A and B are shown apart, each in its own frame.
Chain A
């Protein structure tokens, strides 16, 4: 099989992540149903996470990019010379700082989502509807 000329996977992931962010924003702001707003929040978080993970990808590395885990294979491939093994690893491995940010962000997303869902259940019990235009508008006599 031959090769095709496309944008590389990092650029495609950037484009996909920004699209997800935009879809999530539109969903949170403009869709009426509260559960779909929560889904939009999920897409927003997913888009930002995908952007950050794609930031850590290495493109155009001789020998291919590797997962940033220093395995036995590296050590043996360089005839047990630590300096060249570390040098080769650091040139080829993905940049792992954004991965730490993403791990924290996923857990933060889970926590905030559970608070939002609890509030939605409470509001449904009082109003009987999940439509945000009915629940979240201010009525004049309450103000």
Chain B
């Protein structure tokens, strides 16, 4: 599977390179606001157009196969493992990166227009986080996963610390400390896996584990599973890290909160798929993923119901939805194998529905964060008891926010209904009835929380003697909300447009 050296058809690394180049340039030119805006605009437009330009004819891109090594191997040494740093770009990655880059590009547009002085350094942090998240979705090498994980941690801490108040510095420090611990644990797990298999590429480890069945039950590999699971829960915002992640979303600037939660969802999906590919042959993998995600769902929903701050409420709703995505990701069938090497009997449906839910959530929760950005811009805070009477003069804004809130709660025919309904049916149909019931309960909890928010902020009449406030929506924010609502309705009516590429991509990733 050694491919030729770099050719112009291989545009996969541009997903990572374009945001880094734009980030470095905008940091370098941080004093010239207009230049930064132009460069950032061009960069994000290129990033959004990349999923349409990149072909997946091979699905597996290897870089760095040195010509000396290649000629050495052609002298007849049989190789099943790859000798370079590998990326895998299937239809699943195309779908996830498309929605992620679209939402991130729109959020960067909002960030560019929301502040009076465009800050190149802030854009640097945002774009580095975006590039690291794109890389985590593409990567097939467990050490590169660790490197981009650490880059993401530092960039996210920087984005929160940008707000310059005391609470955000505290959150940034806590996030950095915990993130360094999680990164070190991930590297230790990668070391365990390297020691027991001898390779670093995930596809090679997958081939190793499916071909030599005797060496799978070593405690070292089990410890590797535990450590990579630890890093998965940290990256995706599942318990026990849901408090620090929800603080991170709530204390950053709201449009940055949109990008941060999209990054968390991408990392949740990507590292979850990696865990499933590496450790599907143990029962404890899907059991632990299921338990952690169910906790996330219930805790997120319960805490969302009692919040008084709108950003904090949406942050806990994001934790709740991350739990549902995790439940979907844990619905893979245990393999049935024999010592002669028959591989597995898969069902991709559960994982595909979970990833589809993650896809929907990136759209919907980003839209909710941008609604919070409108409130933050007008009031300077998002405390719900102090905001009232918004429906009178802001009909459009109220309508767009209402559609996003109903989408999160799972109302047909919007997109989250399609994914949640499929997940609940899958749970009931395959013996996870308790999980299905808990999903229905969490839907009710989220609906209660968001309806409370809508009533408190929009439907309560203004104070006696004060006039109703009129909020200003800039063009970028209005564009974001309209695009998000349009996507919610479109993918609610055509869910199979997304589900079939995801299933095809999963077939390639797990088919070897």
User: Chain A: residues with CB nearer than 8 A to chain B?
Assistant: 21, 24-25, 28, 37, 41, 44-45, 47-48, 51-52, 55, 97-98, 101, 104-105, 108-109, 111-112, 115-116, 119-120, 122-123, 126, 135-136, 142-143
- Docked-complex contact B167 and A98, CB < 8 angstroms: no
- Docked-complex contact B181 and A25, CB < 8 angstroms: yes
Instruction: Output the nearest chain A residue to B307 by Cβ-Cβ distance.
Output: A143
B143 part of interface (Cβ distance < 8 Å): yes
Instruction: Output the nearest chain B residue to A137 by Cβ-Cβ distance.
Output: B170
B500 part of interface (Cβ distance < 8 Å): no
7 A-B residue pairings within 8 Å (CB atoms): A21-B188, A48-B184, A97-B200, A101-B187, A105-B187, A119-B169, A123-B170
B309 part of interface (Cβ distance < 8 Å): yes
**Residues of chain A within 8 A of B177, CB atoms compared:** 28, 37, 41, 116
CB < 8 Å: which of A24, A44, A112, A126 contacts B166? A126
CB < 8 Å: which of A44, A47, A119, A143 contacts B176? A119
Q: Of B5-13, B113-121, B146-154, B342-350, which binds chain A?
A: B146-154
In the complex, how many angstroms separate the beta carbon of B495 from the nearest chain A beta carbon? Answer: 38
A136 to B247 alpha-carbon distance, docked (Å): 12
**Which residues of chain B from 134 to 167 have a CB within 8 Å of any chain A CB?**
143, 147, 150, 153-154, 157-158, 161, 166-167
CB < 8 Å: which of B172, B180, B191 contacts A44? B180
Q: Given the known inter-chain contacts A108-B147, A119-B169, A136-B170, please indicate yes or no for A41 contacting B181, CB distance below 8 A.
A: yes
In the complex, how many angstroms separate the beta carbon of A40 from the nearest chain B beta carbon? Answer: 9
A97 to B176 alpha-carbon distance, docked (Å): 28
- Docked-complex contact B169 and A143, CB < 8 angstroms: no
CB < 8 Å: which of B157, B184, B194, B312 contacts A45? B184
Which 5 residue pairs of A and B lie closest in terms of their CB atoms, listed nearest first?
Answer: A119-B173, A44-B184, A116-B176, A52-B191, A48-B188
**Which residues of chain B from 398 to 417 have a CB within 8 Å of any chain A CB?**
none
Label chain B's interface by main secondary structure: helix
A115 to B153 alpha-carbon distance, docked (Å): 11
CB < 8 Å: which of B180, B194, B312 contacts A98? B194
**Residues of chain B within 8 A of A135, CB atoms compared:** 170, 173
Q: Knowing that A44-B181, A101-B191, A119-B176 touch, tell me 9 more A-B residue pairs with CB under 8 angstroms.
A: A41-B184, A47-B184, A52-B187, A97-B200, A104-B143, A105-B187, A112-B176, A119-B161, A136-B174
**Which residues of chain B from 173 to 223 have a CB within 8 Å of any chain A CB?**
173-174, 176-177, 179-181, 183-184, 187-188, 190-191, 194-195, 200
User: Chain B: residues with CB nearer than 8 A to chain A?
Assistant: 143, 147, 150, 153-154, 157-158, 161, 166-167, 169-170, 172-174, 176-177, 179-181, 183-184, 187-188, 190-191, 194-195, 200, 309, 312
Q: Given the known inter-chain contacts A25-B181, A48-B188, please indicate yes or no for A112 contacting B147, CB distance below 8 A.
A: no
In the complex, how many angstroms separate the beta carbon of A133 from the nearest chain B beta carbon? Answer: 12
- Docked-complex contact A48 and B150, CB < 8 angstroms: no
In the complex, how many angstroms separate the beta carbon of A34 from the nearest chain B beta carbon? Answer: 8
Q: Given the known inter-chain contacts A112-B150, A116-B173, A120-B173, please indicate yes or no for A55 contacting B191, CB distance below 8 A.
A: yes
Q: Given the known inter-chain contacts A28-B181, A48-B191, A119-B161, please indicate yes or no for A112 contacting B169, CB distance below 8 A.
A: no
- Docked-complex contact A122 and B169, CB < 8 angstroms: yes
- Docked-complex contact A115 and B188, CB < 8 angstroms: no
CB < 8 Å: which of A44, A55, A115, A122 contacts B158? A115
In the complex, how many angstroms separate the beta carbon of B158 from the nearest chain A beta carbon? Answer: 7
A108 to B149 alpha-carbon distance, docked (Å): 11
Q: Given the known inter-chain contacts A105-B187, A111-B154, A143-B309, please indicate yes or no for A123 contacting B181, CB distance below 8 A.
A: no
Instruction: Output the nearest chain B residue to A127 by Cβ-Cβ distance.
Output: B166
**Residues of chain B within 8 A of A47, CB atoms compared:** 184
Q: Given the known inter-chain contacts A104-B147, A119-B172, A142-B167, please indicate yes or no for A112 contacting B180, CB distance below 8 A.
A: yes
A55 to B224 alpha-carbon distance, docked (Å): 15
A111 to B169 alpha-carbon distance, docked (Å): 18
In the complex, how many angstroms separate the beta carbon of B348 from the nearest chain A beta carbon? Answer: 32
A119 to B162 alpha-carbon distance, docked (Å): 11
- Docked-complex contact B143 and A101, CB < 8 angstroms: yes
- Docked-complex contact A136 and B184, CB < 8 angstroms: no
In the complex, how many angstroms separate the beta carbon of B187 from the nearest chain A beta carbon? Answer: 5
**Residues of chain B within 8 A of A45, CB atoms compared:** 180, 184
A109 to B146 alpha-carbon distance, docked (Å): 12
**Residues of chain B within 8 A of A51, CB atoms compared:** 188, 191
A135 to B167 alpha-carbon distance, docked (Å): 10
In the complex, how many angstroms separate the beta carbon of A37 from the nearest chain B beta carbon? Answer: 6
Instruction: Output the nearest chain B residue to A123 by Cβ-Cβ distance.
Output: B169
A35 to B150 alpha-carbon distance, docked (Å): 21
Name which of A21, A45, A52, A119 has the most chain B CB atoms within 10 A of its CB.
A119
Q: Given the known inter-chain contacts A21-B188, A41-B177, please indicate yes or no for A112 contacting B153, CB distance below 8 A.
A: yes
A28 to B153 alpha-carbon distance, docked (Å): 17
A28 to B190 alpha-carbon distance, docked (Å): 21
**Residues of chain B within 8 A of A111, CB atoms compared:** 154
**Residues of chain A within 8 A of B194, CB atoms compared:** 55, 97-98
A126 to B190 alpha-carbon distance, docked (Å): 39
A105 to B149 alpha-carbon distance, docked (Å): 12
**Residues of chain B within 8 A of A120, CB atoms compared:** 173
**Residues of chain A within 8 A of B195, CB atoms compared:** 55
CB < 8 Å: which of B158, B169, B180, B187 contacts A41? B180
A98 to B194 alpha-carbon distance, docked (Å): 9
**Residues of chain A within 8 A of B184, CB atoms compared:** 21, 24, 41, 44-45, 47-48
Instruction: Output the nearest chain B residue to A104 by Cβ-Cβ distance.
Output: B147
In the complex, how many angstroms separate the beta carbon of A76 from the nearest chain B beta carbon? Answer: 23
**Residues of chain B within 8 A of A116, CB atoms compared:** 173, 176-177, 180
In the complex, how many angstroms separate the beta carbon of B169 from the nearest chain A beta carbon? Answer: 6
**Residues of chain A within 8 A of B173, CB atoms compared:** 116, 119-120, 123, 135-136
**Residues of chain A within 8 A of B170, CB atoms compared:** 123, 135-136
**Residues of chain B within 8 A of A108, CB atoms compared:** 147, 150, 183
